[in-house]
Amino acid sequence: MSVVGHPARALPAQAARTAPPASIRAGRITRRTLEIGIVVFMLAMLYLPLLLLAAFSFNDSIILSLPFKGFTTRWYTEAFDDPRMRTGLTNSIWIATIITPICLVLGTLTAFALTRMRFLMRGGVAAVVGAALVVPWLVIGISALLFFNDDLPLVGQTDLSLWTVGIMHVVCTFPLVAAIVSARLARFDRTQEEAAIDLGASQAQMLRRVVLPHLTPALVASAIFAYMWSFNNFEISYFVGGPDYTFPVWAFSTLRHGQNLPIVNAISTVISLVQVLLVFIAWRIARPRPDRGDAGGFMPMGGVG
C-alpha cells in the first residue's frame, strides 16, 4: 500500500524516514533523565535543608530529630514575644532597606565609570572597589572598628551605632552592585545608544529608554543581593555595631543555649520564606518579555543573562 502523493499520509512516512535510530533515541532519553536527575538533586541540596528547618520549627521539642513530638506554634510565639529579637529584626530590615537603593546608585555609577570612561588609574580603582568583595568580612569589620575608634579629622571618635553598621554595609555591598551592573554593561551593544542619538534622542532619553531597560535585570538582581548581603551580615555588623544590634548578631548570641535553637529555627523559617518570596517577585518583575523584544532575563546566581 502506497501512501506516496497523499499529503496527509506522507507526514508519518517522512517522520519514519527522519526518525533517529533507537540507539540515539535511547541516548537522548538517558541524557534527559540525567539532566532532570541533576536538577532534582541540586534543588534538593538547595531547598531540603530549608524545608527541614520549616518542618522542625513546628516540632514540639527542643531536639531537632525524628520522630516528631507533636505540632506546636509556640516557637513562633516565643520568637516574636522576645523584644531583643524584634529589635534586631527591625534594625536589620531598616538598614537593608536604606542601604539597598544607596548601593544601587553608587554601584551603578561606579559600573558606568569603570566600563565607559577612560581615566588615570582606572585599573587601580577597579581593584580597590573589587577588593571589598574578596577581603573577609571579619577583617573589614575589625578594620572598620579601628577606623571608627580613631580620632578622625573633623569628626573625631565615632560612637558605634546603626549608622556605622549602615556605612560599612554600603562599603562592602556597593562593589557587588558595581560588579553585576558592569557585567551587564560590558555585554551591551553600544551601537544601540548611537542609533538612539542618531534618531534624535537626548542623552537622558537614550539613558531612560535604551540603557536602563537593558540594565533592569541586573539592577533587580543587584537589589536582591544587596538586601540579602546587608540583612544576613554578621561579622561587620558585630564589630561596628553598638547597642543597636542586628538580627544575625542577636541570633548568634542567643544560640549559646540549645533550648533557644527552635526559636531561632522558627524566626529563620519566616525570614527564609520572605526572602524566597522577594526573589520570586523580583524574578516576575525582571523576567524576559519577548513581546517587548527582551532578550535577556534575570538569573539569580548568574546575576544577569
Partner 1 sequence: MRGRITALVLVAAMAAGCGGGSSSDGSQAVSSGPPSGTLRLFAYSDGFAKGLIKPFTDANPQVKLETTPFDSVSAATAKLRAGYDTDVVNSCVEEGTINQVKLGLLQPIDTSRIKDWDKIYPTFKKLPGVIVDGKVYMIPIDSGVTGLMYNSDVVTTTPTSWADLFDPSHKDQATIEDNPEVAMQVGALAMGITDPVNLTEDQINQVKDYLIEHRDNFRTYWSSDADIQNLMAQGEVSIAEGYPGNVNDLNKDGEDNIKFSLAKEGQIVWTCGYGISSSATNIDAAYALLNYYTSAKAQLYEASRWNYTMTNEDVAKIAPAKLVEEARLDAPAHFGNIIPASPPPNFDLWIKAWNEVKAAG
Q: Which residues bind partner 1 (CB under 8 A)?
A: 61-65, 69, 82-84, 142, 145-146, 149, 160, 238-239, 241-243, 245, 249-250, 252-259, 261
**Cβ atoms of 206 and 196 closer than 8 Å:** yes
- Quote the cell numbers at residue 3: 501512501
How many helices and strands, by DSSP H and E, does the chain display?
13, 2
Q: Which is nearer to partner 1, 94 or 188 (CB)?
A: 94
Query: What b/e sequence results for 221-255 when a residue is b if at least 16 CB atoms lie within 10 Å of its CB, and e otherwise?
Result: bbbbbbbbbbbbbbbbbbbbbeebbbbbbbbeebe
SS3 65: coil
Q: From the CB of 240, what's the least distance to partner 1, in Å?
A: 9
Alpha-carbon distance of 246 to 264, in angstroms, equals: 14
Which residue in the block uniquely carries the three cell numbers 526559636?
263
Tell me whether residue 76 or residue 250 sits nearer to partner 1 (CB atom).
250
Q: Which is nearer to partner 1, 227 or 245 (CB)?
A: 245
Q: Which is nearer to partner 1, 231 or 245 (CB)?
A: 245
Instruction: Output 176 or 236, the one with its CB closest to partner 1.
Output: 236
- Residue 153 CB, shortest distance to partner 1, in Å, is 14
| Least spacing, CB of residue 46 vs partner 1, in Å | 22
CB of 236 to partner 1, least distance (A): 12
- Given the complex with partner 1, which of 23 and 65 has the nearer CB atom? 65
CB of 268 to partner 1, least distance (A): 14
Q: Name the nearest CA neighbour of 127 among 185, 178, 167.
A: 178
Q: What is the closest distance, in whole angstroms, from the C-beta atom of residue 85 to partner 1 in the complex?
A: 9
| Residues written for the chain | 305
Mind spelling out the 3-state secondary structure of 103-148?
HHHHHHHHHHHHHHCCCCCHHHHHHHHHHHHHCCHHHHHHHHHHHH
